[in-house]
Structure 1
Amino acid sequence: MLIVEDKGSAIALMLVSLFIVGTFPALLTLLERRGRLPQHTYLDYSIANLLAAVMIAIVFGQFGESKSGMPNFLTQLTQDNWPSVLIAMAGGVALGLGNLIAQYAWAFAGLSVTMVMCSCMTVVVGTTTNYFLDGRINRAEILFPGVACFLIAVFLAAAVHSSNAKDNEEKLRMSGNLHMDSVKKLFSGVVLLDPEIAKDRDTSAHNPIHQAKPGTAAFIIQLEQKRSIKVLESHKLLGLNLIFLAGICFASFLPAINLATNDQCHVLRNGVPHLVVYTAFFYFSMSCFALGVCLNVLFLYHPMAGVPASSIGAYVRDWNGRYWALLSGLLCGFGNGFQFMGGQAAGYAAADSVQALPLVSTFWGVVLFGEYRRSSMKTYILLVAMLSMFVAAVVLLIASAGHRKT
């Protein structure tokens, strides 16, 4: 079994996790903006995410001989470790629910702001919890100033969201030939087309706006026409409320993995080995998969947030963007696995440095989606302040990394 024990390797795994976990939300957002239903996308994502967990468990968890107190993956599947298994599965439910909510929050609040606020909430709540669960192996004088920086970044992110929303309203109001009434008429009575029919239909003739420049009123309405989640005229607080719910879920999953692998609550019987990180990750991903599939099959027929209804048959036939959805699930799965492996070695509080992922997501948001193009100077100042505070917080968390005694 491959066990990461030195701090340098742990930090390297965290940095790899940072990049790939920061990239998968951009792929999901890209598909939503191209009109693919979030239910279809999340079902594909869930399948690939579970596949990644199985690959990590079998390849790394079965590699080499078992170590003292650390059985190989397949051996642990037959042991009486169900209390820890249930804790790991609870963490998977938390992450699955958080990702599901975040998929809608990305649409209503934007990729950049959503990821920053969710990550900051994860650090403020989750990192503090992990610090005490890990027996204070991280340096508190460095860790908690970093947590404070994350907390400040939350308020700055809320201000960025509010300022950018006002900028978009002003653009629509100042536009001479694009009005909100016409936008409402444009999207009234939206229905889902069967993928086979939609593929053969020329939709360009129904699109009154072509080659709109990012950041303009025309671009905002063109995006609204294409995307599967309609966000114009939604309540300003809706996006922030979704972010808050997702952040609470994200703050719970890493402490659950910590408890499952280190058994701080002493729920296992004497002599039963603790769950190795690979076994915990496997059960974690199983529950995440089950939740994602059950809820999104329900949402196919009873959608929310104004998304059109669909069916199992339409999902199976919908290959438009499926490969991107599957890739996003693989990226998220491997990213979470690497984060857990690094956290087991250097402390799960330091592993929350992976919550720097909004730095990657914001890059993709600006480059791919034109977020904050032609915004006001106030929005730009708030955005720079938010990201600067975020960078300082991440540096402090990485610097607080300790070393767990095995």
Structure 2
Amino acid sequence: MVPVGFSIFYSFIFPSSEIQGKVRKDCIRYSGVKIMYVVESKGGAIVCMLLALLFLGTWPALITLLERRGRLPQHTYLDYTITNLLAAVIIALTFGQIGDSTVERPNFFTQLSQDNWSSVLFAMAGGVVLSLGNLSTQYAWAFVGLAVVEVISSSMTVVIGTTLNYFLDGKINKAEILFPGVGCFLVAVCLASAVHSSNAADYKAKLSRWPIDNETGKGTVLPSASEEAVLKDRENGGGPIRKAKAGTATFLIELEKRRSIKVFGKSMFIGLTLTFFAGVCFSLFSPAFNLATNDQWHTLKQGVPKLVVYTAFFYFSVSCFVIALVLNISFLYHPALGVSKSSFKAYLKDWNGRGWAFLAGFLCGFGNGLQFMGGQAAGYAAADAVQALPLVSTFWGVVLFGEYRRSSRRTYILLFSMLFMFIAAVGILMASSGHRK
């Protein structure tokens, strides 16, 4: 039987009795021989996608929060990439090692010694482009905001990546449902660009009024009486410090002073360029992983089993880790986009916010793993429904960072239209789920 700890874990992730029964049947087959658990049911795949959507939509908010508090992005990303790899190792040593190794489904350690390097290279190529995409978005978030970056990059991923996965998977997803969903994502890209343009105009208008608002106190609120005793302006002799309201020009200027990536005076074109580059990278990592686990191009030698999803994810994460490590150590000494210079010694001493960065890495790692587990069962094209993560990111952007506060009516209309298209796209893509035999 599966160990008790894993049984509890399965019960949490796959709560329905039908899916739990499927787990038991998958783990005990062939006259009592235990083999590893692989998601095979459509219900289990959808649960994996929903959990992945939550995780993948939350970790960017944590990275953005640290940047807005002034932590250097190089430090944050180095922490993030450590736990991102650790998540893959945990998945490989648990799911990848459950049960006895068989010819069709060798366990993790068995596959490490097999001659499967063609598939390994596909998995590692996917990790490289994902790492480059994540690194690009880390800087793009500062320029154009968390919500818009996630919308554009995720929509590009669906439009390009889902189309590639549909053909790689042998068209197991329903085309008449799948491609209208892709169309919804494409419309969301156009709306996201319009939201960005409208919001940038709102920012410009707010900043142009800042001298007047600052002089009159508009856009600020006084602290309560109990806070005034603590919050005194020592330089000016005791006046209470004013707290800026989210969305005002004063708030934007105070944010600029704190954050580690300075954006005032720089073209928004930089952020959009990074965003579209990230979108291209994100479009390629899932098809590469698909090729690694299903060998559609028949690159493996005869008799060599295909990579199990857990083994492929390990190689995928290793290459992601190596690229991120090399680039971010380089950025410590040669920073980009005006970020402050640092050193490896300074990074090791910087514990401010390290726990949040570690958590972000775990969320991203387990989110990617769940996406691939669902994609292996229901088709990677349907699994791209997790690219609706801007639904989650936009929520965190509004709640944590005050994005779109006090914006124009036009911006709000475009924003809600964009989110509506995402909700429609998620439902349609999940409805297109197939079943890999």
In the superposition, the TM-score normalised over structure 2's length comes to 0.86
Q: Deviations over 1:169-188 (max 9, x none)?
A: 10010122589xxxxxxxxx
* Alpha-carbon separation, structure 1, partners of 2:313 and 2:61: 24
Is residue 2:229 matched to residue 1:229?
A: no
TM-aligned CA distance change 1:205 to 1:136, over 3 Å: farther
Equivalent position of 1:156 in the other structure: 191
Question: Is the 8 Å Cα contact of residues 58 and 396 (structure 2) preserved in structure 1?
Answer: yes
Distance 1:205 1:128 in 2: 61
Matches within 5 A, 1:3-402: 3-176=38-211, 210-402=242-434
Q: Hey, what's the Cα distance between the residues in 2 that align with 1:154 and 1:365? A: 18
8 Å CA contact retained: 2:97, 2:109: yes
Post-superposition CA distance 1:309-346 (Å, at most 9, x none): 00001000000000000000000000000000000000
Deviation at 1:304, TM superposition (A): 0.4
| Alignment partners' CA distance in 1, 2:264 and 2:296 | 47
Look up the match of 1:190: none
Q: Distance in 2 between matches of 1:220 and 1:205?
A: 23
Paired residue type of 2:268: K
What letter is aligned with 1:299? F
Q: CA deviation at 1:236?
A: 2.4
Who wins on radius of gyration, i.e. which is larger?
2
Kept in 2, the 8 Å contact 1:262–1:275? The answer is yes
Letter in 2 for 1:85: V
**Rounded Cα–Cα distance in structure 1 between residues aligned with 2:264 and 2:243:** 20
Summarize the Cα distance change of 1:225–1:138 in structure 2 as closer, same or farther, 3 Å threshold.
Answer: same
For the 8 Å contact 2:56–2:389, the answer to whether it is kept is yes
1:61 aligns to what SS in structure 2?
coil
Distance (Å, rounded) in 1 between the aligned partners of 2:211 and 2:258: 22
Tell me, yes or no, if the aligned pair for 1:25 and 1:328 is still in contact at 8 Å: yes
Matched, 1:403 2:432: no
Q: 1:43 to 1:10 in 2, by over 3 A?
A: same
Counterpart secondary structure, 2:300? coil
Task: Determine the C-alpha separation between the residues in 1 that align with 2:235 and 2:359.
Answer: 31
User: Does the residue aligned with 1:233 lie in a helix, a strand or coil?
Assistant: coil
1:390 Cα deviation (Å)? 1.0
Q: Compare 79-88 and 208-217 and name the one that shifted more.
A: 208-217
> In 1, are the aligned partners of 2:103 and 2:305 still within 8 Å (CA)?
no
* Preserved contact between residue 209 and residue 218 of structure 1 (Cα < 8 Å): no
SS of equivalent to 1:176: helix
Contact 1:172-1:178 within 8 A present in 2 as well: no
Quote the residue 2:23 is aligned against: none
Distance 2:37 2:72 in 1: 39
Task: Report the alpha carbon displacement of residue 232 of structure 1 after superposing the two structures with TM.
Answer: 1.3
Residue 217 of structure 1: how far off its partner (Å):
0.4
Q: C-alpha deviations, 1:338-373, integer Å up to 9, x for none?
A: 000000000000000001110000000000000000
Unpaired runs of 5+ residues, structure 2, are 1-35, 215-232
Structure 2: distance between partners of 1:86 and 1:211: 53
2:95 alignment partner, SS class: helix
CA deviation after TM superposition for structure 1 residue 67, in Å:
4.0
Give the superposed CA RMSD.
Answer: 1.6
Contact residue 345 and residue 404 of structure 1 kept, 8 A: yes
Q: Distance in 2 between matches of 1:295 and 1:8?
A: 39
Q: Structure 1 segments of 4 or more deviating over 4 A?
A: 204-210
- Distance in structure 2 (CA, Å) of the matches to 1:374 and 1:78: 58
Structure 1 residues 209 and 299, CA, compared in 2 at 3 Å: closer, same or farther?
Answer: farther
- Report if aligned partners of 1:209, 1:222 keep a CA contact under 8 Å in 2: no
**CA 1:241–1:54 in structure 2 vs 1: closer, same or farther (change >3 Å)?**
same
How far does residue 206 in structure 1 lie from its aligned partner after superposition?
Answer: 9.2
Distance 2:166 2:411 in 1: 34
Code of the aligned partner of 2:201: K
Distance (Å, rounded) in 1 between the aligned partners of 2:416 and 2:154 = 17
- Alpha-carbon distance in 2 for matches of 1:354, 1:77: 29
Partners of 1:314 and 1:296 lie apart in 2 by 13
| Deviation of the 1:154 alpha carbon | 0.3
Higher relative contact order (CA 8 A, sep 6+): 1
Structure 2: how far apart are the matches of 1:30 and 1:234?
Answer: 21
Q: Name the CA distance, whole Å, in 1 between partners of 2:417 and 2:67.
A: 29
* Residue in 2 that maps onto 1:195: none
Deviation, structure 1 residue 306: 0.7
C-alpha change, 1:219 and 1:206, in structure 2 (3 Å) is farther
Which amino acid is 1:88 matched to?
Answer: A
Structure 1 gap ranges (5+):
180-203
Q: CA deviation at 1:70?
A: 1.2
* Counterpart residue number, 1:198: none
